[in-house]
């Protein structure tokens, strides 16, 4: 967590610098309040939450007669943490289930999202984390649309000794690959199966059919533990639109927000959680193999405010 704190601090600092510049003024004028509001909007916190926050902050500053910038900052921090919601359960469900007769079924994680958001990279980093915790893993390359996607996944897997189930035929049925991956995982008695999917948003009906079929056939072999939606934090409103579509078609249980390292737009965490009603569970903080971390509301806000 110390590391996450430090990394998030660096990622959010442009926002923090601006917020702190406003808050360091002794007396907050109308212009200062406008600037504060604008800063939060620019960070993609969203109009609704920003309005609520400013309103609540102004009320407290007035009622409690807060003058000390440090106290105003403390209240702002408290409110930002509440917006990000530390009470949400962000545990990633990766434990296999064991039936009464002792047979184990791996946890199955389905990873969805638009191409380019960082799905494959995220799966690679997550696999490393799981292996580091001594968990056995099988990967499924159900993004059969591009052969390169399966190659990329296989490369990540082989670096940590994890097998990838894939089809050699470009355009093969993604659901059969997903099914095969789960069956392989069960036969090998592994702990976790992670399935990568294609994310072509151009055709919503097609996407819905494909993800629906993948979910159904996996369900024949094992219950889905998680459906993780990968979103690129730098895409703002566009990312929110993606969240909406995938939320409708895929039964998302958790969000992975990638590329938080390159943006001061961390406020999207608030907006996307509200949109989908599910928590951000992981964040991507770079392209490297260790740049994935569990999300923590308090550290995240501290990062924003540094
Ligand atoms: P996919 O098409 O969704 O599977 O996306 P990829 O995993 O191929 O990633 C697309 C690009 O985003 C690659 O260049 C990745 O290195 C990059 N990427 C993924 N996650 C992160 C992240 O957290 N931070 C940064 N800076 N780049 C990332």
- 238-256 per-position pLDDT tens digit: 888 888 888 888 889 999 9
Give 115-173 pLDDT, tens digit per residue. 899 999 999 999 999 999 999 999 999 998 888 899 999 999 999 999 999 998 878 89
Q: Which residue's CA is the closest to the ligand 1 atom numbered 6?
A: 118
119 lines ligand 1 (CB under 6 A): yes
289 lines ligand 1 (CB under 6 A): no
Give 275-296 pLDDT, tens digit per residue. 899 999 999 999 999 999 999 9
115 lines ligand 1 (CB under 6 A): yes
CA of 4 to the centre of ligand 1 (A): 19
94 lines ligand 1 (CB under 6 A): no
Atom number, ligand 1, closest to the C-alpha of residue 262 = 26
119 is annotated as contributing to ligand binding:
yes
Chain-centroid distance, C-alpha 293: 10
197 lines ligand 1 (CB under 6 A): no
Q: Collect all residues with Cβ–Cβ distance below 8 Å to 78 and sequence separation of at least 6.
A: none
CA of 119 to the centre of ligand 1 (A): 7
207 is annotated as contributing to ligand binding:
no
What's the distance, Cα to Cα, between the start and end of the chain in Å?
16
ipTM of the complex model: 0.99
303 lines ligand 1 (CB under 6 A): no
CA of 32 to the centre of ligand 1 (A): 37
Atom number, ligand 1, closest to the C-alpha of residue 125 = 20
Pairwise pLDDT comparison (206 vs 231), residue with the higher score: 231
290 is annotated as contributing to ligand binding:
no
Q: Where are the alpha helices (DSSP H) in the chain?
A: 2-23, 30-42, 47-63, 69-84, 119-132, 147-159, 174-187, 204-221, 236-250, 268-276, 297-304
258 lines ligand 1 (CB under 6 A): yes
Give 87-114 pLDDT, tens digit per residue. 999 999 999 999 899 889 999 999 999 9
The span from the CA of 164 to the CA of 194, in Å, is 9
Please report the pLDDT score of residue 68 as a whole number. Answer: 80
């Amino acid at each position: 967590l110390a590391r996450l704190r430090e990394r998030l601090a660096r990622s959010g600092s442009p926002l923090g610098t601006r917020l702190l510049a406003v808050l360091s003024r002794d007396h907050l004028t109308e212009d200062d309040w406008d600037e504060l509001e604008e800063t939060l909007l620019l960070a993609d916190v969203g109009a609704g939450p920003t309005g609520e926050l400013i309103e609540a902050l102004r009320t407290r500053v007035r009622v409690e007669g807060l003058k000390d910038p440090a106290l105003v900052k403390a209240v702002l921090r408290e409110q930002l943490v509440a917006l990000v919601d530390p009470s949400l359960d962000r545990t990633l469900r990766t434990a296999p289930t064991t039936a009464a007769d002792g047979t184990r079924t791996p946890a199955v994680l389905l990873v969805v999202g638009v191409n380019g958001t960082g799905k494959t990279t995220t799966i690679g980093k997550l696999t490393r984390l799981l292996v580091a915790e001594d968990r056995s893993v099988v990967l499924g390359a159900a993004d059969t649309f591009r052969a390169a996607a399966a190659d990329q996944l296989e490369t990540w897997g082989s670096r940590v000794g994890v097998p990838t189930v894939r089809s050699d035929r470009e355009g093969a049925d993604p659901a059969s690959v997903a099914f095969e991956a789960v069956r392989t995982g069960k036969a090998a008695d592994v702990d976790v199966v992670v399935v990568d999917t294609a994310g072509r948003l151009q055709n919503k009906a097609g996407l819905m059919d494909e993800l629906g079929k993948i979910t159904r056939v996996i369900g024949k072999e094992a219950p889905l533990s998680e459906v993780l939606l990968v979103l690129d934090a730098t895409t703002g409103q566009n990312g929110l639109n993606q969240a909406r579509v995938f939320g409708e078609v895929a039964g998302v249980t958790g969000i992975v927000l990638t590329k938080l390292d390159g943006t001061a737009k961390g406020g999207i965490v608030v907006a996307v959680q509200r949109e989908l009603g599910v928590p951000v569970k992981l964040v991507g903080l770079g392209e490297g193999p260790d740049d994935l971390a569990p999300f923590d509301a308090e550290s995240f806000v501290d990062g924003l405010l540094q």
